Amino acid sequence: MPELPEVETVRGGLAPVLEGHRLARVEARRPDLRFPLPENFVQVLTGATVTGLARRAKYLLATLDREDTLVMHLGMSGRFEIAKPRQEGPEGAVRPGQFHYAPDPDPKHAHIVFETEAGARVTYYDPRRFGYMALINSATLPLHPWFAGLGPEPLSDAFDADHLKTAFEGRKQGAKTLLLDQRIVAGLGNIYVCEALHRARISPFKPAGAISRARLDRLVLAIRAVLGEAIAAGGSTLRDYAQADGALGYFQHRFRVYDREGRPCPNDGCDGVIARKLQAGRSTFHCPVCQR
């Protein structure tokens, strides 16, 4: 599933073609994704102007010049692609408001299409259909069940060692398990938690309540560094993920532990070997020697 860096990269790719632009045409090629689309989905969006495009945790939020916000989640395999109108020669010049596009590269899995008055076409593809979209009243959005219990953003000022110390106090669960809890910190997933814990040299299995304040300071810095580097690299492409312009992320080439079972630990002065262990049903990659 795309994690915070992937969703933030998608947001950055979509923003130039959606923010401040009016949706001239919206097409829903099926009535549902993971969940049914709102009955008035096309009607509300057609003619609306996207006033802002933000990210909260792993959600994309398109605020409209109407009372609703379009909430989008990529699920396991969802992705957006942007198409610009084809350039026509002098004899086939495109009149204002008339646009021509290259053929759809994946029509079977193209489920939602947004076209702006400026001529951009944004298509949502999702082979597995685990993604979803909804229209939620903007005034009550923070109270919606998807958002009401979310913890702070890991790149925000609200996320610091004090926050983790309070959240971890007296907890016997492993540090990784709690960092994946979206009520403690929003947007982190398996890949980047494994990477951050390795950089901070903290065992993913260590009871969170036993981690010292000094080590929590180090962990916060590691989380921020890993996320920043991943966003700069366009995220990580493992299976279905691609940026909005079709480019693949490349942070996976810089993984230190994730999916590197049996390889030497890259931490300075460590002669350990990366191991894989199931934790709460998910693969945890770590170094048994330097992560304590």
- pLDDT tier, 2 (very low <50, low <70, confident <90, very high otherwise): confident
Residues of the chain with pLDDT > 70: what percent?
86
pLDDT at 83 over 90: no
Give residue limits of the domains in the chain. Answer: 4-143, 161-286
- Indicate which residue of 55, 58, 176, 199 is catalytic: 58
In this predicted model, which residue has the larger pLDDT, 117 or 95? 117
Averaged pLDDT, 21-31: 97
Strands (E) located in the chain: 23-28, 50-56, 59-64, 68-73, 79-83, 110-116, 121-125, 132-137, 275-279, 282-286
C-alpha dist (Å) from residue 192 to 135, 182, 212, 252 = 30, 14, 21, 11
Contacts with 59 (C-beta within 8 Å, 6 or more apart), sequence order:
7, 71, 72, 73, 146, 147
Give the residue-averaged pLDDT of 137-153: 97
One-letter identity of residue 262: G
Which is catalytic among the residues 3, 8, 81, 195?
3
Which residue would you say has higher pLDDT here, 147 or 95? 147
Q: What is the pLDDT of residue 249?
A: 47
- Residues of the chain with pLDDT > 90, as a percent, come to 75
For the chain, the average pLDDT equals 89
Dist. CA 101–CA 86, nearest whole Å: 5
pLDDT band of 91, cuts 50, 70, 90: low
> How far is it, in rounded angstroms, from Cα 230 to Cα 189?
13
pLDDT tops 90 at residue 206: yes
Q: For the segment 232-289, what is each residue's pLDDT rounded down to a tens digit?
A: 887 665 455 445 555 544 456 678 999 999 999 999 999 999 999 999 888 999 999 9
Query: For residue 140, what are its two tokens?
Result: 């009550």
The one catalytic residue in 2, 5, 154, 204 is 2
Out of 66, 171, 218, 282, pick the active-site residue: 282
Can you name the CATH fold of 4-143? Answer: N-terminal domain of MutM-like DNA repair proteins (3.20.190)
**Residue 209: count of CB within 10 angstroms of its CB:** 15
Annotated active-site residue 3? The verdict is yes
The mean-pLDDT minimum among 53-57, 103-107, 211-215, 235-239 falls in 235-239
pLDDT at 102: 59
pLDDT of residue 27: 97
Task: Check residue 241 and give its pLDDT.
Answer: 44
DSSP designation for 217? H
- pLDDT of amino acid 232: 85
**Residue where the block lists tokens 């942070």:** 251
Fold of 161-286: Helicase, Ruva Protein; domain 3 (1.10.8)
How would you classify the pairing of strands 59-64 and 121-125? unpaired
| pLDDT higher than 60, residue 87 | no
Clarify whether 165 is annotated catalytic: no
Encoded amino acid at 164, one letter: L
Q: What is the pLDDT of residue 286?
A: 98
2 as an active site residue: the answer is: yes
pLDDT at 200 over 80: yes
Q: pLDDT at position 250, please?
A: 45
